Structure 1
């Protein structure tokens, strides 16, 4: 065992031990007996969410203690079998599908005649037929649209026959190496069910963009796909993400096809495949990128669907008693479902110091010394462990910010779905820009504004108490009020939004190029490119007549292109 692994193992052991000691203290010595029914009930609720959070953390630490990466088999070109590529679409714009199909057509493969691409159109649009014709790919539609995306893919299964199936959402553009980097894993053994690659995004996610943190924090989904998912390899409980995935047709057919009884068909389908004994893996290399939701309303609708769908799938498939799942798989999937209850947990954590400082309710019976002895070591070690074991992708601060932003919108959905009250209609995630206005964002931020006001009042009362009594007994409450206020203010700032000026994303690309006006040629290099333009850097000053039409030529080892251009800025 190398020094780094030993340090991580010691950190996990110390964190788990401090957590157990803290919970024992909380359970046996801190419940607010004799403080009234409401205070006692809230105290029990706070303890319950703490216990739940600690169990989730221990499961996560256990899975992170020994990461399992699948080996990359070396296979010859003739072993790359036929592959069907399914692109799901319902109402996405033509321009978006164009990029995805173009990416699929340009995927590398030893024998490209073995790659069969299908636009699976669930709305029978003429423009999608034209797109398929333009790229010389296949087009599949259906008249009865039951089962949403799962039904769409099941219909495609009936019209195809390749042993491997790739599923892409309409916006997910595969890189040239997607197939050559994933097909080989099916030669690890005969019972590989699917390979899940990360869902990466070529635009900043809404958290990065609205908080002006594009270069400071990773995409919010990176932590799940490149950290959590890979850690689930050990227990064979990798979650099928619905896109950027390659699946064994045999495994899929044995599982009854794509599961149609849940709004998150991917979550349920993956579990069904694993329950049959198939081995499924997640890899952390990015091989496709898509569009992250770019407005608040779309983001909330997406997370609402994910939350309801996971809870719904867990209930309908009965994880505790589902045949074929191992004990580790059951725990892992239960942890994935209980994650969506973190919205309730976040609300309880925020309200608890407010109830004490503003409404004079004792939620936890303890003094400052006891808190410093039992809580502080646990808190510090948990912060260190999360940051260390997530490879610095995620910290407690950003986890709290993300949860605080979303919890008011998710609590009603989580409670209703838990009570088996499901939504009748769900819309697909929009992929074509903003869908909310300032009034919607203000309404969505009202719970945060109310909590911010209460937190300010609580902070004021705590400071007043310290000065009046000369004691610091409420300092821990003051700490939590201040900590929570920071995340609440960040949430309000996020809700207010940020105006987007660019119509398309820029990508930093440095390639040699030539600019010419028909008479002269200037060698230069690209700095960044987008759908609408390119910025170039010259090695030395040159005079270029901005009134003339220009031609730019770019040539690399993999491709060459030439296009007309006009100078718009120097």
Structure 2
């Protein structure tokens, strides 16, 4: 991302004005003689502002450094004049659904590599499940099991690695399905690094690992529950495809647990995967960096997994990540460890502070509520002085953050996501910080099971939303003219939080899931045997799923009625997939297209069909934020959608009781 010199001046000016504002806040606005509660909250508020600005400064400075170095990540090609390294591919599983595991195992067998006999695939199953061993036998891959594993995922991996010896090592979670180009998009970084080290060993550091993006083929909880599958990128894309790539430009990308390739020697040098934390990935990556190895993150997804869409599952997942990162930061002594480089220390501290974002978000929500409802003033400032000192820096900094951020996610959407997690993460982060650990953690459940208890997760948002609405009404009731102007800052923050909390209410409302499997946009050729004839008609798929696909005939004069059974052949890279099917829907548009079921009998054909589905990201989901759709547009759409749901429910109820 190139930044022109005049944009850099604006970036620096935004930082300067923000620093000036923070100095004013600390020196002139803290109510030192107020009640103890007020003083404590005032200090928490100003501390939150300082930390929020510092994390913003880090992003801006890293973006300027990226532009200065003119980084452009290009995947190198294999130098086939050099020996092709062997690689062990480890799929780690505990108690996940075998059907989900099958997709990942199947995909690993289709990965391209110059010398495929050097790719050794293993399933590491610490659950000792016979069905998993049978799966390994079916796909002719290795099966490594263990008993009495008390060291969780790290223990399972270390046990498996003790039996492997290839110079490179790739790791996948059960649900993270690699694309066929995974190895071709990651291993060449190592071979290139090795060649560079031979040419100049003193100037080239060894590459420890390559982290590819965490990508997901289903809509996440924000996309799905907010009816935003077409407008908003996955919430985790911002870190995986932007922030961590920036970390990689500084040779210290973070390991995020799956779909990464390691130099085996680097793992051995640091003693294997750490077992004293629940985020062994985060800690291992940093240990490798401290040992003198570099790490990088790529931008293009070369694998894809499934993300939970229920509130309970998402909250549990983030709680585990939050506690784990706090544990690992404590283990690594990130604030004073002499083995950490300055850049690495900044990245780790920034990561640590991220998990305090949710506490800061609650403080920001509470501050205007205290003043509007209870006249508790935590900032001593004249309105006009505040406008002169606060407003220019605040709005310019937010403009710069918007400009410096990628197109994946804008800042307003980030605030909504922070608000959603805030009520459930601030306590675990605080408890873990003072050394109170959770008793146990479970693997995040990917198969969604909704219950009445899930609806109770709405309560914190409903409480804060109600308080904010009450505060807006009470604070502005009966005010006119200059009173409204002077109180506009409080009203501004109340309205902003009210909008964010409204989104949180909608996210926490269950949206019915009708599809049994995800659809993927895929254009694959095929042919249909027209029923009652010996004639074959060619078609091209529009999208595919595990339950069926949709297609268009090349010859639009051909018609099949709904309910028509038929047989046909699909092609994946010239590999025929024989199937039987039935038309379940005919869409009379231009061109006419058909939605059909699919039934495949042969195992080889089934494997090829699974690969057709999962070899590539889900192009039906956006990779960037649609900035033409504003939060108000989204809010309006969600109100309408939920009103329609209420109308349908009432209509159905009246029909049943009429």
Coarse TM-score class (shorter-chain normalised): over 0.9
Structure 1 residues 126 and 107, CA, compared in 2 at 3 Å: closer, same or farther?
same
- Asked whether the equivalents of residues 249 and 296 of structure 2 are also in contact (C-alpha less than 8 Å), the reply is no
Match runs of 1:498-537 below 5 Å: 498-517=511-530, 519=533, 520-537=535-552
Aligned equivalent of 1:434: 448
SS in 1 for 2:4: helix
Aligned equivalent of 2:202: none
- Asked whether the equivalents of residues 416 and 500 of structure 2 are also in contact (C-alpha less than 8 Å), the reply is yes
Aligned equivalent of 2:34: 35
Match runs of 1:325-474 below 5 Å: 325-431=340-446, 433-437=447-451, 439-467=452-480, 470-474=483-487
Q: How many residues align?
A: 567
What CA distance in whole angstroms lies between the structure 2 residues aligned with 1:525 and 1:99?
A: 24
What CA distance in whole angstroms lies between the structure 1 residues aligned with 2:5 and 2:103?
A: 46
What CA distance in whole angstroms lies between the structure 2 residues aligned with 1:436 and 1:555?
A: 38
1:168 aligns with 2:172: yes
What CA distance in whole angstroms lies between the structure 2 residues aligned with 1:546 and 1:283?
A: 45
Aligned equivalent of 2:47: 48
Aligned equivalent of 1:110: 114
Relative to structure 2, which stretch is displaced further, 62-71 or 150-159?
62-71
Aligned equivalent of 1:14: 13
Structure 1 unaligned regions, length at least 5: none
What CA distance in whole angstroms lies between the structure 1 residues aligned with 2:45 and 2:214?
A: 34
SS in 2 for 1:247: strand
State TM-score, norm by structure 2: 0.83
Aligned equivalent of 1:497: 510
1:75 aligns with 2:75: no
- Asked whether the equivalents of residues 312 and 417 of structure 1 are also in contact (C-alpha less than 8 Å), the reply is yes
Residues 91-127 of structure 1 show CA distances to partners (whole Å, capped at 9, x for unaligned) of 1111101100011000001111000000000101001
- Asked whether the equivalents of residues 256 and 282 of structure 2 are also in contact (C-alpha less than 8 Å), the reply is yes
Q: Which of 488, 513, 516 is 2:501 aligned to?
A: 488
- Asked whether the equivalents of residues 146 and 159 of structure 2 are also in contact (C-alpha less than 8 Å), the reply is yes
Aligned equivalent of 1:153: 157
Aligned equivalent of 1:186: 190
Match runs of 1:313-332 below 5 Å: 313-332=328-347
What CA distance in whole angstroms lies between the structure 2 residues aligned with 1:318 and 1:558?
A: 55
**Cα offset for 1:561?**
2.0
Structure 2 unaligned regions, length at least 5: 195-205, 587-658
Residues 338-375 of structure 1 show CA distances to partners (whole Å, capped at 9, x for unaligned) of 10011110000000000000011111111222222222
What CA distance in whole angstroms lies between the structure 2 residues aligned with 1:350 and 1:558?
A: 58
SS in 1 for 2:92: strand
**Cα offset for 1:493?**
1.0
1:200 aligns with 2:210: no
Q: Displaced runs of 4+ in structure 1, greater than 4 A?
A: 468-471, 545-548
SS in 2 for 1:455: helix
What CA distance in whole angstroms lies between the structure 2 residues aligned with 1:36 and 1:521?
A: 84
State TM-score, norm by structure 1: 0.96
**Cα offset for 1:70?**
4.6
Relative to structure 2, which stretch is displaced further, 314-323 or 101-110?
314-323
Aligned equivalent of 1:59: 58
Structure 1 residues 422 and 85, CA, compared in 2 at 3 Å: closer, same or farther?
same
Match runs of 1:294-313 below 5 Å: 294-313=309-328
What CA distance in whole angstroms lies between the structure 2 residues aligned with 1:535 and 1:70?
A: 36
What CA distance in whole angstroms lies between the structure 1 residues aligned with 2:121 and 2:7?
A: 45
**Cα offset for 1:546?**
4.7
**Cα offset for 1:556?**
5.1
SS in 1 for 2:570: strand
Structure 1 residues 146 and 323, CA, compared in 2 at 3 Å: closer, same or farther?
farther
**Cα offset for 1:8?**
4.0
1:272 aligns with 2:272: no
Residues 539-567 of structure 1 show CA distances to partners (whole Å, capped at 9, x for unaligned) of 52423255553123223546442211111
Q: Which of 567, 575, 589 is 1:551 aligned to?
A: 567
SS in 1 for 2:578: strand
- Asked whether the equivalents of residues 80 and 183 of structure 1 are also in contact (C-alpha less than 8 Å), the reply is no
Aligned equivalent of 1:131: 135
